[in-house]
Amino acid sequence: MKQILITETKLHLREPWSILFTLGLPLTLLVALGHIPDLSKPDPNLGGERFVDVQLPVSMMLLALCTVAFNVLPGVLATYRKQGVLRRMSTTPASPAAMLTVQLLINTALGAVAVVVLLAAGRLVFGSALPSGVAFVPVLLLGTAALMAIGLLIAAVAPSAKSAPLIGTAVMFPLLFMAGMWIPRDVMPPALKTISDYSVAGPFVQALRDTWSGQPPQLAHLAVVALGVLLFGGLAVRLFRWE
């Protein structure tokens, strides 16, 4: 698997569009939206916090992770299936499962780099505080695993390489909405907030914000995200087609 990891990393670096898009879009939005005066003032609806302190960086981190999970990961695997790469690998000592693991590692690393870049940008540009809770990183890893599981499920059911990113985009935007990208979860109507609480992305974002400020995450939120890992991951494994 080591050789596959090295080879796939080189291939990703030779085609940097996914890296640039994953980093460039949320970073551009972070800087642009952060310079809107009203978003730099304390907001009573956010407990007196500035939008740029927690709401905006966490939302941009989610956007970066969703881009990787729902566009990059399914697109690569669906293309490899179309080209017969996975089928040919099944006849060699390097199993298709090794390829799947490598793709998960590479895309998770890409998401981690995006998170670090956004945290640094928020700190340097707006003076936003860095996460203070010790549970922030474990929550981030758990939520990333849940998003990647959904991405694998999309790769499993996508009928073609072209449709995989399209399906991913169709899934991504409703999840971003439920996570509070356009309407903060704190001001959502009760019915919409309830739906958000079961959307995986909503509890993930809320747990990130809680741990950002040093508060412990709610067990209900962690349970929903963990259930997402098991449910979507299990379905992806069951339905995934190597050829």
**DSSP states of 124-186 as a string?**
HHH-PPPP--TTHHHHHHHHHHHHHHHHHHHHHH-SSTTHHHHHHHHHHHHHHHHTTSSS-GG
Query: What's residue 13's pLDDT?
Result: 67
Nearest to 7 by CA among 116, 99, 119, 83: 99
Nearest to 138 by CA among 69, 211, 227: 211
Q: Around Cβ 28, how many Cβ atoms within 10 Å?
A: 11
Query: What's residue 172's pLDDT?
Result: 92
Which DSSP category does 40 fall into? Answer: G
Q: What is the pLDDT along the chain (243 residues), one digit of tens a residue?
A: 677 777 777 766 677 676 777 778 888 878 777 777 766 677 666 666 777 776 778 888 899 999 999 988 888 888 878 887 777 776 666 666 677 778 888 888 888 888 888 888 888 877 777 887 789 999 999 999 999 999 989 988 888 888 888 999 999 999 999 988 888 787 888 899 999 999 999 999 999 988 988 889 999 999 999 999 999 988 888 887 777
pTM > 0.75: yes
Query: What's residue 90's pLDDT?
Result: 66
Which DSSP category does 51 fall into? Answer: T
Contact present, 112 and 68 (Cβ < 8 Å):
no
Q: Which residues contact 17 (CB under 8 A, 6 or more apart)?
A: none
d(CA 52, CA 31): 10
Helical H runs in the chain?
2-14, 17-34, 55-67, 73-83, 85-89, 96-126, 136-157, 163-178, 190-197, 201-212, 219-239
Q: How many domains does the chain have?
A: 1
228: three-class secondary structure by DSSP:
helix
Q: Which residues form the domain of 35?
A: 2-239
Beta bridge partners of 50: 42
User: What value, to the nearest 5°, has the Cα angle with vertex 201 and ends 195 and 202?
Assistant: 50
